[in-house]
Amino acid sequence: MALTEPAPARPAAAADPAAPADAYEGILRRQSLRESAARTYARSLPVVPVRAKGLTIEGADGRRYLDCLSGSGTLALGHNHPVVLEAVRKVLDSGAPLHVLDLATPVKDAFVTELYATLPRELAKDARIQFCGPAGTDAVEAALTLVRTATGRSGLFAFTGAYHGMTAGALDASGGATAARVTRLPFPQDLRCPFGVGGERGAELGARWTETLLDDPKSGVPTPGGMIVEPVQGEGGVLPAPDGWLRRMRQLTAERSIPLVVDEVQTGVGRTGTFWAVERSGIVPDVMVLSKAIGGSLPLAVIVYRAELDVWQPGAHAGTFRGNQLAMAAGAATLAFVRENGLAARAATLGARMLGQLQGLAAEHPCIGDVRGRGLMIGVELVDPTADTGVGPDGRPSGAAVPPPAPTLAVAVQRACLERGLIVELGGRHSAVVRLLPPLTISDEQAAAVLDRFADALAAAERAVPRRR
Ligand code: PMP
């Protein structure tokens, strides 16, 4: 087992961000007293990062962690990659303004050129870009406003388990919402397929339901202003959309002039094994929502869309913070580095190998209900296997086809990972999916260390968490 490496001793200096060990406890205590009850990652990851490089974060307590959360998928190149630092320094040293609203600058021009070079060609050849407020959710809002304005229709098709952000429109489009204007459609999944069949057949049934809603004049669902979909649901539990199903969604929407909005906030920039996740199925969306990795670890969000949708009036979607020059420089450097170094292909190869190794682990651990993912976006769904014996307390078949999710075990695994110096995220409908989102720069040795620590943590958590029966 690879245990947490202690950080090398370093001399104390006034400007050293590393707090002494007792200060570390104080920082965490003050955070829990002063910050809101809505804080999220900070609850399960009591880490006070003071330095970071690549996959590694060093905490104020002197411990080192392998970071497979990567700012929730933001850090395509890991922490403080030299090309990102160099790009940021170049802007700082140039005397360029850091804040410019949405004015044109050489830095922005270079970013847009680099971004367009990566986009599906059919979209890039006649695309418009809108710089949004700096978060992914702002870009989702912009996309929804755009398609509603362009079509004059207010309804929206969105999917079960979706996550698009925390502003009102994005939240409505997400799986936890009950918004009147949003029609919820089944997102394909194998383990918990709503039709009980999974695979191609489950996806086909979902597509047929979508088609029926659109074509049945008495379905009670008016033609929507757009459809929004994640090519791989991230927060929803790492569920890749089957290629054929995505193509069906593209066909159904195209035939009815419904703009298809693809949310690539988390899947973009090589994460899933192609530069953009849509490339795998070959579909060309009408609108792409981009954030996270496109800012090279700094806040940046845009939508890119077909020019014919550009019916906005000046100022129709505005915002003060749309001109972050440092983010554009860091983002352009990141996009170029991923493209030039074939990191999407690397994510595909390494991700497939890691998936295979995790599937091997699943064979030894019945608490792993499913291993899935695409590229370096990987999920391990934990279940309670004792509920899947198919035998009820009276000795008769219980009818439980799929073991229930095990969120308590997932929390224990996350904690055991942290104790072993590994940071992972939890996701999925029931928070029972352990998510791995390592940087695309992770080496083979580091990937092996991640899986070692995970396997060890899983075994420890399994021993510690009592089963239902
Ligand atoms: N869309 C997707 C697919 C996401 O994963 C996220 C964030 N996890 C968002 C939108 C929202 O991005 P942000 O948190 O930057 O608002």
The pLDDT tens digits of the residues spanning 76-88 come to 999 999 999 999 9
Query: Do the Cβ atoms of 298 and 76 come closer than 8 Å?
Result: no
Q: CA 183, CA 363: separation in Å to the nearest integer? A: 38
Q: How far apart are CA 76 and CA 427, in angstroms?
A: 19
Residue bearing tokens 């971004």: 115
Look-up of token digits 């990795």: 293
pLDDT in tens, 236-260: 999 999 999 999 999 999 999 999 9
Q: Is the CB of 265 under 6 A from ligand 1?
A: yes
Contact (CB, 8 A) for 309 and 281: no
User: What is the rounded CA–CA span in Å between residue 437 and residue 427?
Assistant: 12
Res. 12: pLDDT tops 60:
no
> What's the one-letter identity of residue 32?
S
Which mutation among 164, 264, 278 tests ligand 1's pocket best, with the greatest number of atoms within 8 A of CB?
164
CA of 292 to the centre of ligand 1 (A): 8
> What is the reported pLDDT for 395?
52
In short, whether 130's Cβ falls inside 6 Å of ligand 1 is no
In sequence order, which residues have a C-beta less than 8 Å from that of residue 148 and are 6 or more positions away?
A: 154, 156, 225, 226
The predicted structure's pLDDT at residue 134: 95
Taking each helix axis from N to C end, the angle separating 325-340 and 82-94, rounded to the nearest 10 degrees, works out to: 140
Ligand 1 near 87 CB (within 6 A): no
Alpha helices in 45-130, H assignment, sequence order: 70-73, 82-94, 106-118, 121-124
Measured by CA distance, the residue closest to atom 1 of ligand 1 is 164
Give the chain's mean pLDDT: 92
Instruction: Check if 291 has its Cβ closer than 6 Å to any atom of ligand 1.
Output: yes
What backbone torsions phi and psi does residue 250 show, to the nearest 5 degrees? -65, -45
Compute, in angstroms, the gap from residue 138 CA to the centroid of ligand 1.
Answer: 9
Q: 69 in ligand 1 pocket by Cβ < 6 Å?
A: no
Task: Report whether residue 235 contacts ligand 1, using a CB cutoff of 6 Å.
Answer: yes
- Token duo for residue 19: 């707090």
For every residue of 220-279, DSSP letters joined together read: S-PPPSEEEE-SEETTTTSEEPPHHHHHHHHHHHHHTT-PEEEE-TTTTTTTTSSSSGGG
**What would the pLDDT profile of 13-57 be if each residue is shown by its tens digit?**
334 555 566 788 999 999 999 999 999 999 999 999 999 999 999
**pLDDT bracket for residue 111 (50, 70, 90):** very high
DSSP 326-348: HHHHHHHHHHHHHHHTTHHHHHH
Q: Tell me what pLDDT residue 169 has.
A: 86
Assigned token pair, 259:
């703009």
Q: Strand 232-233 relative to strand 239-240: parallel, antiparallel, unpaired?
A: antiparallel
- 397 confidence band (pLDDT: 50, 70, 90): very low
For residue 135 and ligand 1, the question of a CB distance below 6 A is answered with yes
Task: Outline which parts of the chain fall under CATH 3.90.1150.10.
Answer: 21-67+344-464
- Whether the CB of 140 sits within 6 Å of ligand 1: yes
The second-level CATH assignment, the architecture, of 83-340 is 3-Layer(aba) Sandwich (3.40)
Question: Over 70: is that where the pLDDT of 459 sits?
Answer: yes
User: What are 86-105's pLDDT values in tens digits?
Assistant: 999 999 999 999 999 999 99
Does ligand 1 have an atom closer than 6 angstroms to the CB of 72? Answer: yes
Q: Average pLDDT, stretch 209-219?
A: 96
Give the model's confidence band at 361: pLDDT under 50 very low, under 70 low, under 90 confident, else very high.
Answer: very high
pLDDT at 13: 39
Distance between CA atoms of residues 418 and 361, nearest Å = 19
Residue 19 has what pLDDT?
55
CA of 164 to the centre of ligand 1 (A): 5
Which residues are CB-contacts of 121 (< 8 A; sequence separation ≥ 6)? none
**What was the pLDDT predicted at 401?**
72
What's the CA-to-centroid distance between 84 and ligand 1, angstroms? 22
What does the alpha-carbon distance between residue 341 and residue 365 come to, in Å, rounded to a whole number?
36
Tokens for 326, please give them: 């440092």
Instruction: Evaluate: CB of 383 within 6 angstroms of ligand 1.
Output: no
Write down the CATH superfamily of domain 21-67+344-464: Aspartate Aminotransferase, domain 1 (3.90.1150.10)
* Single-letter amino acid code for the residue at 420: R
Reply yes or no on whether the pLDDT at 1 is more than 90.
Answer: no
| Residue 72 CA to ligand 1 centre (angstroms) | 9
Residues contacting residue 425 through CB under 8 Å, at least 6 positions apart? 41, 68, 69, 72, 414, 434, 435, 437
Q: Is the CB of 425 under 6 A from ligand 1?
A: no
- Bridge partners, 383 (sequence order): 405
How much is the pTM? 0.93
Q: What is the pLDDT of residue 54?
A: 98
Range 286-293 average pLDDT: 98
Q: In the chain, list all ranges with CATH 3.40.640.10.
A: 83-340
* Ligand 1 centroid to residue 265 C-alpha, Å: 6
136 Cβ inside 6 Å of ligand 1: yes
**Does the Cβ of 456 fall within 6 Å of ligand 1?**
no
Q: Closest ligand 1 atom, CA of 138?
A: 16
Atom 5 of ligand 1, residue of closest alpha carbon = 266
